[in-house]
Amino acid sequence: MSTNGKVNSEVGSLKVKIGLAQMLKGGVIMDVVTPEQAVIAETAGAVAVMALERVPADIRADGGVARMSDPGMIREIIASVSIPVMAKARIGHFVEAQILEAIGVDYIDESEVLTPADEEHHIYKHNFKVPFVCGCRNLGEALRRIGEGAAMIRTKGEAGTGDVVEAVRHARTVFGEIRRLQLMPDEELMTFAKQIGAPYALVKETKELGRLPVVNFAAGGIATPADAALMMQIGVDGVFVGSGIFKSGDPALRARAIVQATTHYNNPEILAKISENLGEPMVGISAKSLPDNEQLAVRGW
């Protein structure tokens, strides 16, 4: 562990990594592809932006290999806003992560939306000072990522579809498994850890806390204020909105509405008001209609 020359001081500790995610709670993290979009997101009240070259809907449409974005373009976005900037590295591509850390990105998303660089291993995230967020579809996957050093989790959903069904499935799966774990006597924990392929210590800690040991956002398919509020009521700490904003008819208006919906998620009168006259949502594709080889959520091991 490094120090910054101050007394009893530590930089980039697990606590400050998890702590930044705690500061993002109750907020919306928006995908942006230009500095102009980043400013629109910040003006709408986003808590952070995800800088990338193509939103997931375009990655889907274009096909081919999706990689880390141009560092020059990420730097321009960093320079254009005062809120934290996140960027995506391919699963297992620790050199892309080193590059993103070097340019001062605030959070790295080791993301299934990009084409995986390693089909067996994820990045060893404890080696970095920059914190990581990783996707999951269930409790075992979440705790494996936390074991590797992820300081924040997002349920994956199915990115670039505008269909919230997979986000709901993954969040319900994680919360359902935690509820089951809380009722489990201690002698059953080791076998449960073995069954879900998760580190025992983290299974035990999750039981004691009654929640994941790090902040848990929802992602993948959120396209409306009602979608965001749905995920918040199901129990996530905040939401990522990828294609849902800048693939819609009026991005600034929709972004502002989704920010408000994430704060006032429990107030149907406010939700009704902010959902009015938002213009066209992103067109979307039903997650069910996707052939197996076009599903992104299954990437991750």
Partner 1 sequence: MAQEHAQNLPIPQSQIYNQKLSMKIGVLALQGAFIEHISILRRLGAEAVEVRLPLDLVGLDGLIIPGGESTTIGKLAVMYDLMEPLQTFAQTKPLWGTCAGMIFMAKDIGMDQPLLGVMDIAVERNAFGRQVDSFEIDLDIPAFHNNGQAKGTSLYHAIFIRAPKLVAVRGNAAVIATLPDGTAVAARQGTMLVTSFHPELTDDTRFHQYFLEMVAETAKERG
Binding site for partner 1 (CB under 8 A): 4, 6-20, 22-27, 42-48, 82-84, 101, 104, 106-107, 129-131, 201-202, 204-205, 208-211, 213-214, 259-260, 262-264, 267
Token output for 144: 């494996």
Residue closer to partner 1 by CB (options 213, 281) is 213
Q: Dump strand ranges (E) for 207-272.
A: 215-218, 239-241
Shortest spacing between CB 80 and partner 1, in angstroms: 13
Token output for 60: 């889907």
Residue closer to partner 1 by CB (options 23, 184) is 23
Give the type of residue at 264. H
Strands 85-90, 107-111: pairing is parallel
Residue closer to partner 1 by CB (options 223, 274) is 274
Q: Which of 6, 25, 88, 273 is catalytic?
A: 88
Helix (H, G, I), strand (E, B) or coil at 138: coil
Q: What is the largest CA-CA distance in the chain?
A: 58
Shortest spacing between CB 267 and partner 1, in angstroms: 8
Q: Number of C-alpha atoms within 13 angstroms, CB side, residue 231?
A: 40
Residues sharing a CB contact under 8 Å with residue 277, sequence separation 6 or more, in sequence order? none
Q: Number of C-alpha atoms within 13 angstroms, CB side, residue 79?
A: 7
Between CA 129 and CA 104 the distance in angstroms is 10
Are 48 and 86 in contact, with CB atoms under 8 Å apart? yes
Shortest spacing between CB 172 and partner 1, in angstroms: 21
Cα-Cα-Cα-Cα dihedral sign, residues 62, 63, 64, 66: positive
Question: Rounded to whole angstroms, what are the CA distances from 152 to 134, 214, 260?
Answer: 7, 5, 22
Task: Give catalytic status of residue 247 as yes or no.
Answer: no
Residue closer to partner 1 by CB (options 69, 262) is 262
Shortest spacing between CB 207 and partner 1, in angstroms: 11
Shortest spacing between CB 225 and partner 1, in angstroms: 13
Residue closer to partner 1 by CB (options 197, 210) is 210
List active site positions: 88
